[in-house]
Amino acid sequence: MSKSDINQSIEALRAELDQIATTDLAAKDKLLALITDVERQVQSPDDESRRKATLQQLPALIEQFEADHPKVTNTLGRLLNTLSSMGI
């Protein structure tokens, strides 16, 4: 797994974000914050506190989006696996 895998997952999340109803602003905000956190983590992989925070957020977001946004859930799961396998 590589940074390009992470970038592909981020782009997929951005595409899915565009598909989420505008009435679900809380979900959009959480995804945008997550995308920003992941991008920062990729830029600074040695930032241990950010890594822990990001990895703690992902499972909760996956659970939250599981029913309403299955594509987002799938992408978040792939992203979590990619980050974990890279040690990020």
State if pTM tops 0.75: no
Whether the pLDDT of residue 86 is over 80: the answer is no
For residue 56, the enclosing domain spans: 3-86
Number of structural domains, the chain? 1
Cα separation, 25 vs 51, whole angstroms:
25
Residue with tokens 């895998």: 5
User: Minimal CA–CA distance to 76: which of 35, 25, 36, 37?
Assistant: 35
Residue 1 CB burial class (10 angstroms; 0-12, 13-18, ≥19) = middle
Confidence class for position 73, pLDDT limits 50, 70, 90: confident
DSSP one-letter string for 12-45: HHHHHHHHS-TT-HHHHHHHHHHHHHHHHHHH-T
Check residue 63 and give its pLDDT: 79
Each residue's pLDDT tens digit, 57-71: 777 777 777 777 788
Each residue's pLDDT tens digit, 3-45: 788 888 888 888 877 777 666 777 778 878 878 887 887 787 7
- Residue at 75: amino acid letter: T
